[in-house]
Structure 1
Amino acid sequence: MMRRRVFLIAVALQVVILLFMVTSSYALDRFGKVITIQTEAYDTEDVFYGDYVHLSYLAETVRSENWFASDDVKSNQQIYVLFTPDEQGIYHLKAASDREMSAESDDVVIMARYRYQDEEQVHHIDLGLDRYHAHYEQQGEIESSQERMLVSIALSPWGQKKIVEVENVQVEP
């Protein structure tokens, strides 16, 4: 009798976890805040992932005047990145730190991972939004672009994030 109860609890737990995984993406679309940031794209092809667009964000390079972390930040450590919108509604990096930050008014905080600091004292981070599986018709247009692009990202209150749309548009540098 006890084995049966443990088995039923294990099965129920797996079903709950699967339902959470499926509904979390839909909940992100419904309850998430959508922001737009600038990026550049380049063509890449991978045997394991197939055709996709690899995105490289301008905000993934943090200059020293925007860096407010301690000196002992390690590679792959969680970093908090504060974004603020400009007049056109495009979000730009305002600050990055290893300590939690609070967002004011229209600002948002995104969790990222620290990569390294180069010889010019520029810190490199990873927002975790670097692969975008575009529709077949859109892939060639995005991959052949040498211009900056606008990426719409949905952010949930619980920290989940995903790319909603990539636009191939001319923006000011």
Structure 2
Amino acid sequence: MIRKKLLMGLVGFQILFLFGMVLSGYLIERVGETVTLQTKAMPHEDIIFNDSIYLRFTAEEIRPENWFMTEAPERNQVIYVLLTPNEQGLYQVKAASDKKMDADDQEVIMKTRYSHKSQEMTHVVRFGIDQYQTDTSDFQVNRSQPRFKVEIALSPWGQSKVVDIEVID
């Protein structure tokens, strides 16, 4: 009898967990803020593979003048990136720190993970949305190193999700 109740409780927990995951993905788009980021130009064969587009954002590389940390970060450490829109509506890095920052009306804060310091002395973070599953035949890429505009929904609890993607050139 106890085993049966334990098994039923475990199955119920799994159902609730799966329902929560599906609901979370839906809620990110409904209640989250939407921002548009630009990807780096990369060779076509490094970006599009099978039915996935691999994304490397320009905002993932943070210049030293936008880096506000007193100690060297550790790999995979949480870094908060303050993004602000430019004239074209694309969000770019204003500041990055291991401490939470305040954002103005048009600015957003994105929770990222530290990756490494590049040869160009920029700090590289990862947004955690580096792959987008889609029918890649929809994308007419005319350049050998295309760039994309990517619309991202950011939830109040720190998750992000790619909502739309468009070829720039």
User: What are structure 1's unaligned runs of at least 5 residues?
Assistant: none
- Alpha-carbon distance, 1:93 to partner: 0.7
Deviations 1:139-171 (A, max 9, x none): 4x248563432110011111111111111125x
- Alpha-carbon distance, 1:38 to partner: 1.2
Q: Is the 8 A contact 1:42 1:53 kept in 2?
A: no
**Secondary structure of 2:161's aligned partner:** strand
**Structure (1/2) with the larger strand percentage:** 1
Distance 1:85-1:71 versus aligned 2 partners, 3 A rule? same
Partner of 2:130: 130
| Identity among equivalent pairs (%) | 39
Is 1:43 aligned to 2:44, yes or no? yes
User: What are structure 2's unaligned runs of at least 5 residues?
Assistant: none
The whole-number CA distance in structure 2 between the counterparts of 1:130 and 1:143 is 22
Deviating above 4 A after TM superposition, structure 1's stretches of 4 or more consecutive aligned residues are 142-145
Partner of 2:68: 68
The whole-number CA distance in structure 1 between the counterparts of 2:46 and 2:22 is 28
Partner of 2:30: 30
- What is the aligned length? 167
Amino acid at match of 2:79: I
Is 1:52 aligned to 2:35, yes or no? no
Q: Is the 8 A contact 2:44 2:146 kept in 1?
A: no
Distance 1:142-1:55 versus aligned 2 partners, 3 A rule? farther
Amino acid at match of 1:165: D
Amino acid at match of 2:152: I
- Alpha-carbon distance, 1:4 to partner: 2.2
Q: TM (normalized to structure 2)?
A: 0.87
Deviations 1:28-57 (A, max 9, x none): 2211211101113543479xx834221111
Amino acid at match of 1:43: H
Distance 1:42-1:155 versus aligned 2 partners, 3 A rule? farther
Distance 1:145-1:151 versus aligned 2 partners, 3 A rule? farther
